[in-house]
Structure 1
Amino acid sequence: MAIAPFQVTLGIELVAAGLGGLQGALIAAGERHRRIDVLGVIVIGLTVSLGGSLLRDVVLNQPPVVIWANWYLLVAAASAILGMILQPLFARADWAITGLDAVVMGLFGAIGASKALSLGVGPVGALVVGVIGAIGGGMLRDLILARPVSILQVGTLYAVAAGAGAGSLIVLVGFDVPVLIAGLVAVVVTTAVRILAVVFGWAFPEQRSLISGH
């Protein structure tokens, strides 16, 4: 199911990087009790922006685009600074940050899955790469901030949303749907699943309730 050559342009990667940097900085700037300085906010923004792409390329044994593309770091850093400036406007708008987080996941998941397919990776492997790309930046963000890792918490469905989006792209590409259209559908699916999970409280059962039988 290879799609060659890799059809996601650098422009789309930069959009994802910019939104990732913005979202990461908004979260970091909101952690006022931690007294994170300006550099720290930028670092968190860069982590969200670059983490998923870096992990994806390492898994695929490819030169990391975040290093080789000149504009990647600049766009991510500028977006992080913008996020820090705009944070007061978003302070009471958790829904906006959740929505932005979902879109960023969808973009990186679609890019990761499509890049894997273009390199000849099978559907299952491409799904894994898509999920890694989608959640990698968020996982690194949580680790740096010493927060509970989102993917491991009850009620998030992060991996499910990421997998649903990447999986939809893989299926559509298998039916010869153009990758850009499949990618757009993947972003919509990831965003929808993530937001619906938050709105309706969808979650897997907590492990201790399964063990205890309650």
Structure 2
Amino acid sequence: MSVMPFQVALWIELLAAGLGGLQGALFAAGERHRRIDVVGVVVIGLAVSLGGSLLRDIVLNQPPVVLWRNWYLVVAGASALLGMALQPVLARVDWLITGLDAVVMGLFGAIGASKALSLGTGEAGALVAGIIGAIGGGMLRDVILSLPISFLRVGTLYAVAAGAGAGVLVVLVVLGTPIPVAGVVCVVVTTVLRLAAVRFGWTFPEQRALRSRQTSR
């Protein structure tokens, strides 16, 4: 595959960072039983906002863009503070956190996959980079809060939604679709699949359930 210029506009990356910081802070501020202080809420907001980009760039052997360009930290930090301030007002709107999480996954997945393609990786590598970008922030959040890693447990197709969106982007780009159009489709696919899985409780069978079936046979 030929190398092409990275075509994601800075404002889109900053939008993803801002929404990630907002969602992470809302999530952390809602964990009142853990008694997280103000600094902790901001740190978790930053982890969700910047974690996916950081892990993506490490995997792609690129300078971490979140450290080299000041706007990422400024936007992510400000969004985290905003999320912490708004949490008491939005405490009863659980769907907002899930919705923001789905959109942030889609945005970071699209950015990760398109950046990998621009660097000349293969289609499989771009898919992996997109998934890492999409779930990296949530993974760091879970590690910091000592929660079960979201994409490893029986749940609502967390990594599958990220992979589906990134996969669609890669296929569309290979077929000649412009990156902006493919990116929008990626975000829509990831968001819709994630929200549908939450709404209808779609999951993969638990490993123990499969083993029990095999034993019964």
State whether TM-score is above 0.5.
yes
User: Residue 2 of structure 1 contacts residue 121 of structure 1 at CA under 8 Å; is this kept in 2?
Assistant: no
Specify every segment of 5 or more residues in structure 2 that has no aligned partner in the other structure, as ranges: none
Moved over 2 A (4+): none
Most deviating of 145-154 and 107-116: 145-154
Structure 1 residues 42 and 119, CA, compared in 2 at 3 Å: closer, same or farther?
same
Partner of 2:128: 128
TM-score, normalised with respect to structure 2: 0.97
Query: For 1:34 and 1:79, how far apart are their aligned partners in 2?
Result: 21
Please name the residue that 1:84 is paired with.
84
Unaligned 5+ segments in structure 1 are none
> Over residues 93-140 of structure 1, what are the superposed CA-to-partner deviations in whole Å (9 max), with x where a residue is unaligned?
111110100000000000000000000000011000100000000000
2:18 matched to which residue of 1? 18
> What is aligned with 2:56?
56
What is the aligned-residue RMSD (CA, Å)?
0.9
Q: Distance between the aligned counterparts of 2:27 and 2:2, measured in 1?
A: 37
For 2:156 and 2:58, locate their aligned partners in 1 and report how far apart those are by CA, in whole Å.
Answer: 26
Provide the residue aligned with 1:137 in structure 2: 137
Q: Which amino acid aligns with 2:46?
A: L
User: Offset at 1:184?
Assistant: 0.5
Distance 1:99 1:3 in 2: 34
TM-score, structure 1 as length reference: 0.98
Shift of 1:47: 0.3
Are residues 1:70 and 2:65 paired? Answer: no
Equivalence for 1:109: 109
Show CA shifts across 1:31-84 (max 9, x none).
Answer: 011111100000000000010000000000001000111111000000000000
Equivalent AA in structure 1 for residue 212 of structure 2: S
CA distance in 2, matches of 1:3, 1:42: 37
The within-5 A match list for 1:1-214 is 1-2=1-2, 4-213=4-213
Post-superposition shift, 1:2? 4.1
Shift of residue 3, structure 1, vs aligned partner: 5.3
Amino acid corresponding to residue 169 of structure 1 in structure 2: L
- When the two structures are aligned, how many residues end up with a matched partner? 214
